[in-house]
Amino acid sequence: MNLKKASTLALLLMAFGGFVSTTLGDSLADDLGANPNDIVKTRTYIGGMGISSTVDQWGDFNGYNWMQNTPSSSTTVTAYPEVDLIPTISRQFGWAAFVGQREGPWAAEFSYWRTNHTATWIDTSPSTPVTYTNPSTLQSINIDFKRYFLTQLPSQPFVSFGISFPWLWVHDFSTSYTDSTRSTLVQNGDETISGVGLNLGAGLEIYIDNNFSIVGGVVERWVSFDQINGVEKTPLNNMYFDNNPSDVGSLEGNGFNFYAGMTLGIQ
């Protein structure tokens, strides 16, 4: 994740912390729609989850696409022409950790998700296609808001929405060459593809008491990837798809993510 995104995230977190500490007190619970008979009125909590994540296998991340820098950028942006492979990744299990604040039927959460995958790319140019596989890691930092229903019962369904900052690292899927014909390899290297996404989800949380709960759900994440960090550090807006200089644009991805875990109240 680049410095600009990290700085933006830090500002969001500081703003969120100030909002929680100065605005969301017990006295605000009624204004947020809390009922005197609600099981949870106010709660600060931490938690951990097992997750199942992927990036879409029917769009840009289909295991066939590749990007290279534009002809003009080979002399003005990079030392050598760069080629970055856009893989498909296997669905895998991983883990997530989060911290949250609940007031009445509303909650805000900050979380970190991580899964390790196998990245696959298929070269269809030879008469017999060649498949390449390498390790990859999908990570994401998320800020989400939840709205709970049936808040007078221990089992409470909810909907969630928020933003995410995901990045996909792939081992050795970036290369550079001496010229645009790619006749001589200069080097192989790792690539990191990062962006900003929108989260929409739904789930169920079961409260044992104010100090412990079990939670599970599903999140659909749509992402616009706006940066590729490959061997030559070529900006994404200087890259184009599949040897077609007219096909310049951002990478789009989405993923259907499942999770299940528990929370512990810390207040």
Beta strands in the chain (DSSP E): 42-53, 66-69, 82-85, 88-89, 92-103, 106-123, 130-148, 155-177, 185-209, 212-229, 239-241, 251-265
Average pLDDT of the segment spanning 197-223: 94
Query: What one-character DSSP code corresponds to residue 50?
Result: E
Query: What one-character DSSP code corresponds to residue 25?
Result: -
Helix spans in 58-156 (H): 73-76
String of DSSP letters for 126-143: SSS-EEEEEEEEEEEEEE
Please tell me the predicted confidence (pLDDT) of residue 191. 93
Per-residue model confidence as pLDDT tens digits over 143-155: 999 999 999 999 9
Whole-angstrom distance, CA of residue 40 vs CA of residue 175? 54
Q: Which of 65-79, 88-102, 124-138, 173-187 has the least mean pLDDT?
A: 65-79
Per-residue model confidence as pLDDT tens digits over 73-112: 444 555 678 889 999 998 999 999 999 999 999 999 999 9
Q: Is 189 helix (H, G, I), strand (E, B) or coil?
A: strand
Per-residue model confidence as pLDDT tens digits over 247-257: 776 788 898 99
**Correct CATH for 3-265 of 2.60.120.700, 2.40.160.20, 1.10.10.10, 3.30.60.50:** 2.40.160.20
CA proximity to 85, closest of 170, 196, 178: 170
Please tell me the predicted confidence (pLDDT) of residue 1. 43
Which helix H or strand E contains 18, and what residues bound it? helix 3-23
Q: Of 11-15, 65-69, 204-208, 223-227, which one has max mean pLDDT? A: 204-208
CA distances for 201 relative to 94, 136, 186, angstroms: 18, 25, 44
- Look at residue 18 and tell me whether its pLDDT is greater than 60: no
CA proximity to 164, closest of 198, 117, 201: 198
Average pLDDT of the segment spanning 176-183: 69
Q: Which of 5-9, 120-124, 161-165 has the least mean pLDDT?
A: 5-9
Whole-angstrom distance, CA of residue 33 vs CA of residue 105? 7
